[in-house]
Structure 1
Amino acid sequence: MTTTDTTSAHDRTDSGTSIYDHGDIYEAIYMSRGKDYAAESALVTSLVRERLPEADSLLDVGCGAGSHLQCFAGHFGHAEGLDLSADMVRKNEERGTGIRVTRGDMRDFALGRRFDAVVSMFNVVAYSAGTDELDATLACFARHLNPGGVIVIEPWWLPEDFLDGYVATDSFQWKGRSYARISHTVRDGDSSHMEVHYLVASAEEGVTHFSDVHRARLFQRADYENAIRRAGCAVEYVRAEHAPRGLFIGTAPRAA
C-alpha cells in the first residue's frame, strides 16, 4: 500500500510509489544511518559455519540493493540473491559485480538449485500476512537447502519489544543530494503500521516527495520457531551485538 501527500504545489510528488522502487534512495538512507552490512554479514557467516563448517554457497532472499549480498560474496564461493522488486534487481545489475539476482516471491520461488545457506535479513519475512504465509516462506527456504544446510532469518520486533507510536527522523547528504526521512509506527492488531515520508532534493532535479506504508507482522517468537520446525529444521534463537532483534536459525538434517 502506498500513500501520497499532494499538499505542496511546489514539490514534485511521486504517486503510487514505494521505497523499494527507488534502490538508490533506499541504499543512501541505510548507508547514511551507519548500518554495518559488513559486520552483520560476518556474524551470519559465522553462525552458518558453526553449524556447517564446509558451507560455501548462499542465497540471500529479499536482498534489496545488495549491500549484504556483496559482503556475503566475499565469504562464500558462490552467493546469489532473490528480490521481489524489479528496481532492486536492476540496482544489483548496475553494480556490475556479476552476482546473480533473480526476481521472485519468497513464498513460492523455485530456482532449481540448492545452497548451503539461505538467509533473509532486515525483517523481510515479517511481510508475511500471517502464519500460513510464514510457513510457506520457510518451507520454500528449506527446499533450497543442501543436506545439513542452514537458514538464518532476521525478524521484525517481537510483540513484547515493539515500541508503539515510535517516530524516527533522519536528514543527511549523500552523493550530491539532500535527503530527509520521517516515520511513525503504531501497532495495528497483530501487525505494525509504519508510515514513512521521504524528501529528496538536488540542484538539478529540485525537490521530490513520496510516502509509503509498511505493514509488518508482529509474529511471536513461537511463530518463527514453529515455522522453521515445520520446514523440517532444528531451530535456535540467538541475540548478538549486530542483531538487536535477534536471529532465528534453522538447520536441516544431514544426509543419512
Structure 2
Amino acid sequence: MYDTQFAEVYDRVYCTLYDYAAHARLIADLAREHAPEAATLLDVGCGTGEHLRHLRGEFAVTGLDLSEPMLARAREKLPADVPLHQADMRKFDLGRSYDVICSMYSAVGYLGGVPDLRDAVATMARHLTPAGVLIVEPWILRERWRGGQLAHASVERDGVTISRMGQWRTEGDRSAVDMHYLVSEPGGEGVRHFVDREDLALFSGDAYEEAFTAAGLTPRLLPVGRGDRGVYVATRTAGTA
C-alpha cells in the first residue's frame, strides 16, 4: 500500500479529482470554531503533504505518515522547516502536543481493526493540548456501506495521462478494491499498468464513538466533507486531562 509506484502518480490523480484547498479550509474553519487560539497542527496520515501545503500559512504544521515514499513527495513540496515523521499512527510519540490534530481522507480506515482504532485515537489524544481539537475523517461507516461500487476516473496532468478503475467489494468486516492503473507518460514506451490494493476497515459509528470516549474525548460527527462520510470533531471531555 502506497509504495513508490503509487506515490509517483498519487498527486496527479488526487490533486485533479479533489479540491485540497477547500478541504484544508474546512479543517481550518473547524479548528478555529473549536480551538480559536490554535497555533500548531499535526496531520496524521499526511501523505504527500498537500493539506499541509495549504495549512502552513495559518498554523505551524507537522506531518506524520507510515509511507516513506509518500513522505518523500511531501519533502519535495514543503519547506525544510516543516517537520515530517515516518511513524505508525497507533503508537507514535513526538514528545510534544498540538492544538489541532487532523487525520483526513479516511486514513484511519487502513487500520487493522477496532483495537487499532482505539490505539490510534488514544495516541492522537495524548498529543492534544488541553484545549485542542481532534478532527478525523472516517471511512464509510459499516451501517452506510453498500459494496459493489465501481470507481473509475481518467485524468491528465503535467502531460501524463492516468486512468484507474476498480470495483469495491466486501470482505468480512472490511472493504477492498484492486484498483487498476494505466499510465502513459510523454516519451514513454507504451502504457504502464499496475494494481494498487485498497483495504479499509468498516468500523461502525459506535466503534468510533467508543474509541473517542475511551480516549477522554467527546466527539460529534458533522455532515461535512466528502460524500456521506462526515467528519468527527472531538474535544476533551469535561473533567479529563
TM-score range, shorter chain: over 0.9
Map of 1:204 onto structure 2:
187
Aligned partner (choices 149, 153, 172) of residue 166 of structure 1 = 149
Structure 2 distance, partners of 1:203, 1:53, is 47
The alignment's TM-score, normalised by the length of structure 1, stands at 0.87
2:236 corresponds to 1:252: yes
Structure 1 distance, partners of 2:103, 2:216, is 18
Map of 2:164 onto structure 1:
181
Structure 1 distance, partners of 2:202, 2:226, is 21
1:227 deviates by 0.2
Aligned partner (choices 27, 32, 39) of residue 49 of structure 1 = 32
Identical pairs, percent: 36
Aligned partner (choices 53, 72, 87) of residue 69 of structure 2 = 87
Query: What letter is aligned with 2:74?
Result: N
Q: Which has the higher mean CA deviation after the structures are superposed, 245-254 or 45-54?
A: 245-254
Could you tell me whether the CA contact under 8 Å between 1:43 and 1:242 is conserved in 2? no
Could you tell me whether the CA contact under 8 Å between 1:19 and 1:25 is conserved in 2? no
1:130 deviates by 1.1
C-alpha distance after superposition, 1:145-168 (max 9, x if no partner): 111111110001112322311111
Map of 2:79 onto structure 1:
97
Aligned partner (choices 132, 144, 153) of residue 136 of structure 2 = 153
Query: What letter is aligned with 1:248?
Result: Y
Structure 2 distance, partners of 1:27, 1:157, is 22
In structure 2, the residue corresponding to 1:245 is in which secondary structure? coil
Aligned partner (choices 197, 200, 212) of residue 216 of structure 1 = 200
Aligned partner (choices 66, 70, 74) of residue 57 of structure 2 = 74
Could you tell me whether the CA contact under 8 Å between 2:182 and 2:192 is conserved in 1? yes
Map of 1:108 onto structure 2:
91
Q: Which has the higher mean CA deviation after the structures are superposed, 187-196 or 91-100?
A: 91-100
Map of 2:120 onto structure 1:
137
1:253 deviates by 5.1
Structure 2 distance, partners of 1:54, 1:125, is 27
Q: Which runs of 5+ in 1 are unaligned?
A: 1-17
Query: What letter is aligned with 1:64?
Result: G
Larger relative contact order (Cα-Cα within 8 Å, sequence gap ≥ 6): 1
In structure 2, the residue corresponding to 1:59 is in which secondary structure? strand
Structure 2 distance, partners of 1:241, 1:141, is 21
2:214 corresponds to 1:230: yes
Specify whether residues 244 and 42 from structure 1 end up closer, same or farther in structure 2 by C-alpha distance, changes over 3 A only. Answer: farther
Specify whether residues 241 and 192 from structure 1 end up closer, same or farther in structure 2 by C-alpha distance, changes over 3 A only. Answer: closer
Structure 2 distance, partners of 1:227, 1:25, is 33
Structure 1 distance, partners of 2:46, 2:236, is 22
Structure 1 distance, partners of 2:3, 2:48, is 9
1:23 deviates by 2.4
1:241 deviates by 5.4
**CA-atom RMSD in angstroms:** 1.7
1:128 deviates by 1.4
Specify whether residues 103 and 23 from structure 1 end up closer, same or farther in structure 2 by C-alpha distance, changes over 3 A only. Answer: same
C-alpha distance after superposition, 1:78-112 (max 9, x if no partner): 11100111111111111142322111110001111
Could you tell me whether the CA contact under 8 Å between 1:147 and 1:253 is conserved in 2? no
Structure 2 distance, partners of 1:20, 1:239, is 32
C-alpha distance after superposition, 1:158-184 (max 9, x if no partner): 123223111111112111211111111
